[in-house]
Amino acid sequence: MAVQTQIQTRRGTAASWTSTNPTLAAGEIGFETDTGKFKIGNGSTAWASLAYSAGATAVTYLFNATGGQTTFTGADANGLTLAYTVGAEQVYLNGVLQVRGSDYTASNGTSIVLASGALVSDVLNVIAYSAMTITDTYTQAQADAKFVQQTNNFFAGKNKVINGDFGVWQRGTSFSLTSNGGYQPDRFQISSGSGGTCATTQQTFTPGTAPVAGYEGQYFLQVAFSVSGTSTILFEQNIEDVRTLAGQTATFSFWGRVTSGTFAGAAVENVQRFGTGGSGAVVTNWGTANFTTAWQRFTGTVTIPSVSGKTIGAGSSSSIRLNIGTSGTSTFQIWGVQVEAGSIATPFQTATGTLQGELAACQRYYYRFNANGASNFPIFGSGFANTTGNTTITCQFPVTMRTKPNTVDTSSISNFALEFANSNITSLTSITIDNNYTSSDSGEISVVRAGVFTVGQIYRLTVSTSVAAFIGWSAEL
- Residues 109-167: tens digit of each pLDDT: 999 999 999 999 999 999 999 876 666 677 778 777 776 555 557 778 999 999 999 99
Percent of the chain at pLDDT exceeding 90: 66
> What is the predicted pLDDT for the residue at 3?
34
pLDDT-based confidence at 464, cuts 50/70/90? confident
pLDDT > 80? residue 19: no
**pLDDT given for residue 142 in this prediction:** 78
Give the model's pLDDT for residue 4. Answer: 37
The verdict on pTM exceeding 0.85 is no
Cα separation of 29 and 49, whole Å?
10
What does the pLDDT look like over 319-349, one tens digit per residue? 999 999 888 789 999 999 999 999 999 999 9
| Chain-centre distance for alpha carbon 44 | 51
Is the pLDDT assigned to residue 10 strictly greater than 60?
A: no
Angle of CA points 266, 268, 272, to nearest 5°:
155
Domain boundaries, the chain: 7-129, 174-363, 366-474
34-43, 226-235, 359-368, 418-427 — most confident range: 359-368
| Residue 12 banded pLDDT, cuts 50, 70, 90 | very low
**174-363 CATH fold:** Jelly Rolls (2.60.120)
- pLDDT score at 181: 72
Residue 215, pLDDT > 90, answer no
Residue count (the chain): 477
Share above pLDDT 70 across residues of the chain, in percent, rounded to a whole number: 83
CA 449 – CA 393 distance, rounded (Å): 14
Give the max Cα distance, the chain: 129
Which pLDDT score is estimated for 18?
31
Q: Is the pLDDT of residue 16 over 90?
A: no
Among the four given CATH numbers 2.30.29, 2.60.40, 1.10.287, 1.10.150, the one describing domain 366-474: 2.60.40
Q: 174-363 and 366-474 share one CATH topology?
A: no
What type of residue is 400? T
Per-residue pLDDT band for 180 (boundaries 50, 70, 90) equals low
For residues 166 and 185, is the Cβ–Cβ distance under 8 A?
yes
The 3-class secondary structure across 73-123, one letter per residue, is ECECCCCCECCCCCCCEEEEECCEECCECCCEECCCCCEEEECCCCCCCCE
Q: How far apart are CA 106 and CA 100, in angstroms?
A: 7
Q: How confident is the model at residue 15 (pLDDT cuts 50, 70, 90)?
A: very low
